[in-house]
Amino acid sequence: MIELLLLVPLVTALLCGLSRNERHIYIFSVAGAIIMALVAIPFCYEAFFEGPIDTWLWYMDSLSALFVVIIVVIVAMVSVYSVDYQRHERTEGELTIKDLRYYHSLLHIFTLTMLLVVIVDSLGLMWIAIEATTLASAFLVGFYKKSEAMEAAWKYLIICSVGITLALLGIILIYASSVGVLGEGMDSLDWSVLSSVADQLDPALVKVAFIFIIIGLGTKAGLAPMHTWLPDAHSQAPTPISGLLSAVLLNCAMYGILRIHLLAEAAVPGFSSSLLVLFGLLSLIVAAIFILTARDLKRMLAFSSVEHMGIIALGFGIGGPLAILGALFHILAHSLTKTLMFFGAGNVIQKYGTREMKDIKGLWKAMPTTAIMIVLGGAAIAGSPPFALFVGEFLILSGAIASGSYLLAGVFIALITLIFAGMTYRIFSMSSGTPQEGLPSGEIGKLRLVPMFLLAAAVLILGLFFPDVISDALGSIVDLFEEMIG
């Protein structure tokens, strides 16, 4: 029964909220995350290999299992990292115990809401869960009491709420289109029911519904014209949180889009995939523009999230077994690499005290281990081969070529190379030269390097090999897509 999985973060949030001294909060937070990971394994295994778990309120098939795995892994990494990150901030007196309690409890509530999004069966409940994630993360974005953080939180809240309202309108229209076929029964918004009857939905309503969904959830997923909140929220939020936002929150919104995309593609073949391709390309173009002239490190990483969300949308838009496998693998690879890069950025910002990339010089000499992580992570995030993101882009490119859209493949290559150039230039010029004098060399904390090593190793291994367990898991999702769309 999946409630147990949801119970763990709730309990950890309460425990963190109530405990008084600092050590307890850390222990509860990390222990809670790890227990959640352990609890999730059997459910995901069952969902991947035995078939979807369909209880009264919850519906967990292989697609949601992938997202559960990502949420669980990244939250574990973030909680371990934020322990060390905040210990440093506490020594500098920026954080009070109250803030710490506030931070860790909100972190686990945020995880709970994200788990809800991917487990729940009915689209309405999914919408409510997404709205809840916005509300939970609004406070995390506005965590620091500075005016910029406030401004970023307000913009995040308003733009995402508007987006989600439009998404609700889309869901209502989907519901309206299904009323004609199913009648008004309680379950006509459940995905399992809708997916079985997807091809008889009223096409006109489904088309308008998907437009609202892609605009609404696209805002949450950071697709191009609606991405404007993303760089502000990520640059002002505490770094572990911006890692969580980039790696997991955007994916949950993409999960919502995918659910409706499956329905819409069955009802009106070709419509939703061309929209996904359009928004994917727009995101790549916007990301390229802003990465080439980026000055702030975390804003650059935020725009790289826009880029990778664009690539994922492009992958699903192109369709075909190759591109879908590529997009799924890209989701996994992107969350791992982006968290690694945000952790690296966190170390750099805490050491240099600034986010301006032109003031950060001589990383190799100041903090060699983080420098290795950032250089390899930078190469990975830019999509160079021995790392996992390249395999994702490779599969999506082969999907595009297999489906015969050569112009799209050409534009894709051009944009990716442009972003590769911009990203690598910034990262490698940060790590060259000599640091400004008076900067003590050496790492800030030891514990924070553990999650970074794990992530770097995972990204490298996934880049070179494709273990069977992952290939079977992603294969089952691809079969799900094929049988719905193919």
CB of 168 to another protein, least distance (A): 6
CB of 308 to another protein, least distance (A): 17
Window 422-451: residues binding another protein (CB under 8 A):
424-425, 428-429, 431-433
- Each residue 15-54 as x (binds another protein by CB under 8 A) or -, in order, gives ----------------------------------------
- Each residue 143-182 as x (binds another protein by CB under 8 A) or -, in order, gives --x-xx-xxxxxx-xxx-xxx-xx-xx--xx-xx--x---
Judged by beta carbon, residue 32 or residue 317, the one nearer another protein is 317
Window 325-354: residues binding another protein (CB under 8 A):
325, 329
Judged by beta carbon, residue 79 or residue 236, the one nearer another protein is 236
Place of tokens 């830019």: 382
CB of 133 to another protein, least distance (A): 11
Judged by beta carbon, residue 26 or residue 127, the one nearer another protein is 127
- 61, 84, 121, 131: which one contacts another protein (CB under 8 A)? 131
Judged by beta carbon, residue 192 or residue 417, the one nearer another protein is 417
CB of 88 to another protein, least distance (A): 25
Judged by beta carbon, residue 102 or residue 271, the one nearer another protein is 271
Does residue 359 contact residue 349 with C-beta atoms inside 8 Å? no
Burial degree of 274 (CB within 10 A; 0-12, 13-18, 19+): exposed
CB of 262 to another protein, least distance (A): 19
Listed residue (452, 369, 81) closest to 242, CA to CA: 81
Window 70-99: residues binding another protein (CB under 8 A):
none
Burial degree of 358 (CB within 10 A; 0-12, 13-18, 19+): exposed
- Each residue 280-319 as x (binds another protein by CB under 8 A) or -, in order, gives ------x-xxx-xxxxx--x--------------------
H or E element at residue 120: none
The tally of CA atoms less than 13 A away on the side-chain side of residue 257 is 32
Alpha-carbon span 66 to 47, nearest angstrom? 9
Work out the angle at residue 56's Cα, subtended by the Cα atoms of residues 328 and 221, and round it to the nearest 5 degrees.
30
Judged by beta carbon, residue 28 or residue 481, the one nearer another protein is 481
Does residue 136 contact residue 237 with C-beta atoms inside 8 Å? no
DSSP letter string over 183-195? -S-GGGGBHHHHH
Chain-centroid distance of CA 177 in Å reads: 30
Write b or e for each residue in 190-214: b if 16 or more Cβ atoms lie within 10 A of its Cβ, otherwise e.
bbebbbeebeebbeebbbebbbbbb
CB of 232 to another protein, least distance (A): 4
- Each residue 110-129 as x (binds another protein by CB under 8 A) or -, in order, gives ------------x-xx-xx-
- 321, 386, 445, 475: which one contacts another protein (CB under 8 A)? 386
Residues 6+ apart with CB under 8 A from 60: 2, 43, 47, 52, 53, 68, 118, 119
Window 201-260: residues binding another protein (CB under 8 A):
204-205, 207-208, 211-212, 215, 219, 225-226, 228-229, 231-232, 235-236
CB of 171 to another protein, least distance (A): 9
- Each residue 457-476 as x (binds another protein by CB under 8 A) or -, in order, gives ------xxxxxx--x-----
Judged by beta carbon, residue 102 or residue 425, the one nearer another protein is 425
Judged by beta carbon, residue 254 or residue 286, the one nearer another protein is 286
- 55, 96, 354, 417: which one contacts another protein (CB under 8 A)? 417
Does residue 103 contact residue 53 with C-beta atoms inside 8 Å? no
Alpha-carbon span 222 to 298, nearest angstrom? 15
Listed residue (263, 277, 312) closest to 481, CA to CA: 263
Please tell me whether residue 418 binds another protein under the rule CB under 8 A: yes
Q: How distant, in Å, are the alpha carbons of 180, 182, 207 from that of 203?
A: 12, 15, 6
Please tell me whether residue 135 binds another protein under the rule CB under 8 A: yes
